[in-house]
Amino acid sequence: MPAKVEGKSAAPALSAPQKALRKLGLVRDIDLALHLPLRYEDETRIITLREARDGQLAQIEGTVTNSEISQRPRRQLLVTLDDGTDTCTLRFFTFYPAHRKTLAVGERVRVRGELRGGFLGWTMVHPAFHAAGGELPDALTPVYPTSAQLPQAYLRKVVASGLRRADLGENLPPALLGGLHAVVRGTWTLRDALQYLHHPGADVSLDALEDRSHPAWQRLKAEELLAQQLSQFTARQERAELRAPALRAKPGGLHEQLLGVLPFALTTAQHRVGEEIARDLMRQIPMHRLLQGDVGSGKTVVAALAAAIAIDAGWQCALMAPTEILAEQHFAKLIGWLEPLLAPLGKRVAWLTGSQKKKQRGEMLALIASGEAALVVGTHAVIQDQVVFKNLALAIIDEQHRFGVAQRLALRGKMGTGHTEVSAGASTGSAQEPHLLMMTATPIPRTLAMSYYADLDVSTIDELPPGRTPIVTKVVADNRRNEVVERIRSQVAQGRQVYWVCPLIEESEVLDLSNATATHAELSESLPGVLVGLLHSRMPVAEKKAVMSLFTGGQMGVLVSTTVIEVGVDVPNASLMVIEHAERFGLSQLHQLRGRVGRGAAASACVLLYTPPDSGRLGETARERLKAMAETSDGFEIARRDLEIRGPGEFLGARQSGAPLLRFADLATDTHLLEWARAAAPVMLAEYPQQAEKHIARWLGGKAEFLKA
Ligand code: ADP
Ligand code: MG
């Protein structure tokens, strides 16, 4: 055989089960040790058929008294087992000669499965079985989450050996152990806890294991939360080592001028968060701030004011939005406000989107590279490789939960190399980063802010601009659609405008579209003389823009759309929002959609149309969501209920693709453990840095980097 000449020897090929393990993220011994059972099977006892209950998962032992293959109603092997107290029929729809041998008449066998009682006596379908005898285990048998390629028996073996080999030494210094034992109500070590959870004794209370209140579970969850807090505090410390340009508003400068030309006065809340941001910008440490404020609370102008500070100091600012329409809206507003102020400085606003013509894009790239574009607004296009900033100092991300970790990191990496005088005051040689401002209309509940977002400073706009009238929300069954159309007619007759949103049907974009198209046709027909527009994600961008401008301009009375208008659209004259199939939307999504109306002085309403399934009533979750919508329009209350209904996934959005959601801890029930971890983490980092590092590695492995984005 010819010798291989590559420099690196190829890694040995992985076997199929090894690959399957890798897919489940089970690579290191510690990963295996932390792969906990879904449930347990009790093989510790053999019960008699006389004491058995219908539906019970049971292990029985007896003698085979009959074995035959029946062809009806389909081919199957029927085996009768007699345990001395009663008989049970075992049914197998697939079987092999070896099975028949073990289950031959006269053999004694031990079988385990779900017992069904019935007219013809006990039966078990496809029980597990083997020849009788052998010792009974003294612990419950774990059943692990697995995949089709990974047999349970194999997984059990590798988990057991991973558990034996894993370094489970105590990471917590004695000084912190006392506090831990108090919150978990027990002195369990990690090793004991894992040993117990993998192989609980036969006498254990399955309830305490299931609801995870058992001290072994508590210890595990506390460890996990500690790792998360440690990584968040570390991220914060590392950021403090980084350098960013210190930006300060100048008297009479752009910031002041912008305030002067705004057609309104800032609300107290806008003013306050503006100050918080301005204080961050003055520091040489990169800002890492989340600006949260309900839909319509006026985040854009706060962002523009921050941009003005950066631009005035001679730097560039980028504003990234998740959709083209939203980027466009920002662009229109920001141009209106800023362009006249920038012109005397010889500066411009540039924009970047995916659908741009090549020539225009080239011009924009040149403006950005030369620094003439002081403000760059756009979609994901802003973070593409060809985009080279001269001196980016402030990056603003709107609707941040729509972006992934990688995208945020990319934007932060766009600092640019043009400017060097910055580092004059800062410690030289340290990395430069732009200040980062993230905006969201989905307020983060307190427990989440304490855990996932612990490395983030949060500013909150908790007040809407004056003159808004509250939105009345009605939940209406789809068979009353005609009344809704009447309502639209009267709104349009009063010169108002209406949104009609059709849901995204995930499995079928085509269906989604046909739904919106049908509604569009229906409304056009029933509202003669009213211009009814259609907007969906598959339309060419130019067409989308044309439709949007007719709607923003007021010529179009009704806009039917798929969820493309979900974020950020701002048409104050719109006073009615109809959401079709509202039962299919998530709570925060509904809330955001509703926020498109109620932006002007006119009384506004939101109609949630729902279609009960053919089977009758709506599901529990859907009903809870619609109820919450009708009961409150407070974004924080909505967020709290959403967390209750859905868990943290919705809030973390794209963040979860990089950061593991907590596997074991549950923020709804484990606040006491979270509070302990939050207090312990800084102590551990300051006084026991090596153990802290070990602990992060144990729990997060290579994933820690992502948590910092
Ligand atoms: P969101 O926080 O949802 O992004 P916007 O920034 O789009 O909200 O603001 C919603 C609307 O309110 C816009 O038309 C904006 O110009 C207006 N607005 C913002 N701040 C004020 C204010 N202080 N007074 C009156 N209107 C305001
Ligand atoms: Mg907005």
Cβ atoms of residues 168 and 223 within 8 Å: no
* Binding-site residues, ligand 1, Cβ < 6 A: 264, 266-267, 270, 293, 295-301, 441, 465, 568, 570, 572, 599
Q: Is the pLDDT of residue 702 over 70?
A: no
pLDDT score of 624: 87
What number is the average pLDDT over the span 479-487?
Answer: 93
Q: Is the pLDDT of residue 596 over 90?
A: no
What do you get for the CA distance between the two ends of the chain, in Å? Answer: 49
What number is the average pLDDT over the span 142-150?
Answer: 86
For ligand 1, atom 14: residue with the closest CA: 570
Q: What is the DSSP letter of 430?
A: S
Band of residue 623 on the pLDDT scale cut at 50, 70, 90: confident
What number is the average pLDDT over the span 588-602?
Answer: 82
For the chain, give the percent of residues with pLDDT over 90: 45
pLDDT score of 706: 45
What number is the average pLDDT over the span 440-450?
Answer: 74
pLDDT score of 344: 92
Tell the residue number behind the tokens 């596997």, with chain if given.
663
What is the distance, to the nearest Å, from the Cα of residue 170 to the centroid of all Cα atoms in its chain?
32
Q: Do β-strands 39-41 and 141-143 pair in parallel, antiparallel, or remain unpaired?
A: antiparallel
pLDDT in tens, 493-520: 999 999 999 876 544 555 555 678 889 9
What number is the average pLDDT over the span 289-312?
Answer: 91
Q: Is the pLDDT of residue 418 over 50?
A: no
Angle, to 10 degrees, between the axis of helix 481-493 and the axis of helix 509-526? 60
**Smallest Cα–Cα separation from 488: which of 605, 598, 375?**
605
Q: Which atom of ligand 1 is nearest to the CA of 299?
A: 2
For ligand 1, atom 12: residue with the closest CA: 298
Between 482 and 422, the higher pLDDT residue: 482
Band of residue 415 on the pLDDT scale cut at 50, 70, 90: low
Band of residue 429 on the pLDDT scale cut at 50, 70, 90: very low
Q: Mean pLDDT in the chain?
A: 84
**H helix count then E strand count, the chain:** 26, 21
- Alpha-carbon distance 114 to 112, whole Å? 7
Q: Is the pLDDT of residue 589 over 90?
A: no
Cβ atoms of residues 681 and 180 within 8 Å: no
For ligand 1, atom 23: residue with the closest CA: 266
- Alpha-carbon distance 113 to 126, whole Å? 7
Mutational pocket test of ligand 1: of 401, 439, 570, the residue with most ligand atoms within 8 Å of the beta carbon: 570
CA of 566 to the centre of ligand 1 (A): 16
The CB density around residue 350, as the number of other CB atoms within 10 Å, is: 23
CA of 354 to the centre of ligand 2 (A): 20
- Alpha-carbon distance 226 to 330, whole Å? 40
Mutational pocket test of ligand 1: of 270, 300, 401, the residue with most ligand atoms within 8 Å of the beta carbon: 300
Which of 47-51, 208-212, 343-347 comes out lowest in average pLDDT?
Answer: 208-212
Most confident of 353-362, 420-429, 650-659, 690-699: 690-699
For residue 456, with 0-12 CB atoms within 10 Å meaning exposed, 13-18 middle and 19 or more buried, which class applies? middle
Q: Is the pLDDT of residue 36 over 80?
A: yes
pLDDT score of 656: 38
Question: Strand, helix or coil at 158?
Answer: helix
pLDDT in tens, 74-112: 899 999 999 999 999 999 988 888 888 999 999 999 999
Q: Is the pLDDT of residue 185 over 60?
A: yes
For ligand 1, atom 18: residue with the closest CA: 298
Q: Is the pLDDT of residue 565 over 70?
A: no
Between 310 and 386, the higher pLDDT residue: 310
Task: Specify the amino acid at residue 391.
Answer: N
Cβ atoms of residues 556 and 531 within 8 Å: yes
The CB density around residue 149, as the number of other CB atoms within 10 Å, is: 13
Q: Which residues, at least 6 apart from 520, have a Cβ–Cβ distance to it below 8 Å?
A: 532, 533, 534, 560
Band of residue 299 on the pLDDT scale cut at 50, 70, 90: very high
Q: Count CA atoms closer than 13 A to 505's CA, side-chain side.
A: 13
What number is the average pLDDT over the span 608-630?
Answer: 85
CA of 258 to the centre of ligand 1 (A): 15
Q: What are the residues facing 497 on neighbouring strands?
A: 574
Band of residue 569 on the pLDDT scale cut at 50, 70, 90: low
